[in-house]
């Protein structure tokens, strides 16, 4: 599996020590529906463009936006685009992504889209998030393969660090930072277990006389998720550099070829 590190411009140099496969989170759709970019190092070439829709207005001219995205891909030598679209599926975004997927297919580039857009965009590659707080990851991946085909899938290897109060009727936990999780483990010195269903580690503890369920990923669980994708023929995965920075020496070889270590 080819693993891409998603980086902001200031993280490129550090991330490049581990892999040449970088997804550049420096682009967004602006309020007027046009392409906006952060300042980047002039020597950046290759990898992928990450395009966000945060604070995006309506995309009224999808053809113009497609042309802007395509020109940037050609200029930078990007091999594709990751549509990091967090807003709900809408008609204007669907029309833009459909046009972009057709353009990318003709130009031998790939477009990666959120799972919600997968059924609407047959030429796009579909991002499947591996961070689960319930269910069975293996089943989720197998279901995705049946829906889209393994060759169209890419793993969004989002790192779990969640705190769930018990009971938790809403099923929604509180996100933990690396520092807060580390401090909690140091304070509680818990017995840590592994969930094969979630492919994640967990422990329980008391905080202010309330029971809490802590669910998290480490290098071992991320590696197992990559191996599960490999076994199903899923060709690509994405890690967010800030989330995974402390795991990279374990996950990647130091040869700079972007290949995860075997374990």
How confident is the model at residue 88, as a pLDDT?
A: 86
Per the model's pLDDT, the better-predicted residue between 170 and 104 turns out to be: 104
pLDDT reading at 257 higher than 50? no
- Least confident segment among 43-52, 166-175, 213-222: 166-175
CA 212/CA 96 separation, integer angstroms: 43
**Region 229-249 average pLDDT:** 95
The tens digit of pLDDT for each residue in 172-217 reads 788 899 899 999 999 989 999 999 999 999 999 888 788 999 999 9
Per the model's pLDDT, the better-predicted residue between 98 and 261 turns out to be: 98
The tens digit of pLDDT for each residue in 117-133 reads 999 999 999 999 999 98
CA 82/CA 26 separation, integer angstroms: 11
List all residues 6 or more positions away from 250 whose beta carbon is below 8 Å from its beta carbon.
219, 223, 261
Confidence of residue 108 (pLDDT cuts 50, 70, 90): very high
Per the prediction, the chain carries an average pLDDT of 90
How confident is the model at residue 256, as a pLDDT?
A: 40
Confidence of residue 258 (pLDDT cuts 50, 70, 90): very low
Confidence of residue 248 (pLDDT cuts 50, 70, 90): very high
- Ordered domains of the chain (ranges, CATH): 2-159+217-251 (3.20.20.80), 162-215 (3.10.50.10)
How confident is the model at residue 57, as a pLDDT?
A: 81
Q: Are 3 and 250 in contact (CB under 8 A)?
A: no
pLDDT reading at 263 higher than 50? no
Rg (C-alpha) for the chain, rounded Å, is 19
* pTM for the structure as a whole: 0.90
The contacts found for 98-107 with CB under 8 angstroms, 24 or more apart, are 99/62, 99/63, 99/66, 100/62, 100/66, 100/69, 103/66, 103/70, 104/80, 107/70, 107/73
pLDDT reading at 171 higher than 80? no
Burial class (CB in 10 A: 0-12, 13-18, 19+), 136: middle
- Least confident segment among 41-55, 123-137, 241-255: 241-255
């Amino acid at each position: 599996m080819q693993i891409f590190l998603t980086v902001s411009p200031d993280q490129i140099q550090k991330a490049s020590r581990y892999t040449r496969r970088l997804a550049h989170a420096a682009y967004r759709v602006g309020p007027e529906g046009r392409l906006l970019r952060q300042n980047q190092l002039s020597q950046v070439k290759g990898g992928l463009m990450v395009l966000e829709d945060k604070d995006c207005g309506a995309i009224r001219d999808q053809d113009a936006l497609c042309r802007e995205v395509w020109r940037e891909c050609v200029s930078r030598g990007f091999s594709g685009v990751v549509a990091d679209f967090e807003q709900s599926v809408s008609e204007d975004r669907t029309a833009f992504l459909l046009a972009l997927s057709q353009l990318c297919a003709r130009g031998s580039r790939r477009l990666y889209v959120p799972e919600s857009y997968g059924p609407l965009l047959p030429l796009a590659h579909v991002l499947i998030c591996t961070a689960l707080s319930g269910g069975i990851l293996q089943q989720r991946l197998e279901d995705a393969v049946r829906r889209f085909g393994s060759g169209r899938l890419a793993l969004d290897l989002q790192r779990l660090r969640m705190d769930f109060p018990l009971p938790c009727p809403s099923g929604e936990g509180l996100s933990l930072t690396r520092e807060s999780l580390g401090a909690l483990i140091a304070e509680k010195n818990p017995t840590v277990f592994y969930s094969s269903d979630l492919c994640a580690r967990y422990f329980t503890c008391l905080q202010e006389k309330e029971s809490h369920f802590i669910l998290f990923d480490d290098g071992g669980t991320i590696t197992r998720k990559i191996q599960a994708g490999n076994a199903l023929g899923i060709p690509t995965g994405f890690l967010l550099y800030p989330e995974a920075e402390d795991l990279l020496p374990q996950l990647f070889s130091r040869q700079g070829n972007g290949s995860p270590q075997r374990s």
